[in-house]
Amino acid sequence: MLDLASVRAAFPALAEGFTYFDNAGGSQTLGVVANRIRDYLLTTNVQLGASYAISHAAGERVAEGARGAASFVNAADPSEVVLGSSTTQLLQNLALAMAPSLSPGDEIIVTDCDHEANIGPWRRLEARGVVVKEWRISTLRLELSDLEPLMTPRTRLVCFTHASNVIGSIHPVAEITRFVHARGAQVCVDGVAYAPHRRIDVQTLDVDYYVFSFYKVYGPHAAMLYGKRGHLLALSGINHGFIGETVVPYKLQPGNLNFELTYGIGGIFEYFDDQGGAEQAFADISAHEEALAAPLLAFLADTKGIRVLGEPTADAALRVPTISFVADGLRSEAIVRAVDPHRMGIRFGDFYARRLIERLGLTATGGVVRVSMVHYNSHEEVARLIRVLETTLVRL
């Protein structure tokens, strides 16, 4: 079982007494991560690749972070991991690097339920003659029956999310990937909303590209893109022209990566090692988060006029504990602002999944109210939120 006292002690911000339920926007940072960043800046803050000893030490620290990221997702080789500032930036870079290999009439499929990060870069390729099709959700979950008629021999890439950052639904990535590969195309998966909650194994999933942000997985404002080595080698470089096409991942890291943050993300992997290893830690996290989500979902289901979006149960196989709802006759902003004085952070809006909010007809309500929990949240915090929401909804 998860040792919650030990977990919470690893996050200095939690000692201040504020309750963080906006974790899908950005989690709190581990103390060990902050310490590593500070230590790097104060002891090895030099350019890499020089002949002197401190530069060698700095280079090894950065390489350690990259190796840790590769191991964290079970990549076959550290060269399959491209590091950058955010998922949005990495996907824009990927689209830029892929563009020269695409011909007019080639097809890319995007969804109407992703964060815009995995939609916008691909839609911009329409200016080059690429045909972009939309895979629409029909049951608040992506269905293969809706994808099949969209695919043709010209389909090159299918882009979708592992878990919705609004409704929390988990999509069967391995099954979708097998389906797409059988039809000769590749997949690009946004794992941002999934990565804080479950173990990622890119080899088992057999994905072609997988991307997520470390600042939502208890680390600094950095992100990683996994790509199969053969795919990365085939992409056009977007770094300086004299950097060889076989130099991966550097040819896809213009301006290089952030040295201190790359060393800092190693603290995330240290933390999971201390929790019994990633496999055990995420099993414990999954069970704890299911127990956190269950009473909140039950309360919302029993409250008149409240509609929960997505999976109504807390089943960890079907959803992550990112829970969104709307209230009849109320703007979502009003609910959130009424909760704010209670030193709890929840949020309202579309969360850059604007196409989904529009598809669900929720623009007029100001989007949804979103409560996004992670494993450092406690049962007492959930109980207090329920009490506050109960009072708030009656008053409004």
Task: State the pLDDT at residue 140.
Answer: 83
Model confidence at 32, pLDDT cuts 50, 70, 90, reads very high
Task: State the pLDDT at residue 104.
Answer: 98
Task: Give bridge partners of residue 345 from the DSSP assignment.
Answer: 20
Residue carrying structure tokens 């950097």 = 243
4-29+275-395 adopts what CATH topology? Aspartate Aminotransferase, domain 1 (3.90.1150)
Tokens of 77: 């080789």
- Neighbouring CB atoms inside 10 A of 391's CB total 13
CATH number of 33-272: 3.40.640.10
Answering whether pTM is above 0.95, one says yes
Gap between the Cα atoms of 82 and 21, Å rounded: 30
Contact 262, 249 (CB under 8 A): no
Identity of residue 365 = T
Gap between the Cα atoms of 260 and 48, Å rounded: 12
Nearest Cα to Cα of residue 58 among 36, 33, 35, 34? 36
Model confidence at 394, pLDDT cuts 50, 70, 90, reads confident
pLDDT tens-digit readout, 244-300: 999 999 999 999 999 999 999 999 999 999 999 999 999 999 999 999 999 999 999
What is the domain partition of the chain in residue ranges?
A: 4-29+275-395, 33-272
Total residue length of the chain: 396
Collect all residues with Cβ–Cβ distance below 8 Å to 206 and sequence separation of at least 6.
Answer: 174, 177, 178, 181
Identity of residue 37 = I
Sheet strand arrangement including 368-372? 306-308, 322-327, 368-372, 347-349
pLDDT tens-digit readout, 192-249: 999 999 999 999 999 999 999 999 999 999 999 999 999 999 999 999 999 999 999 9
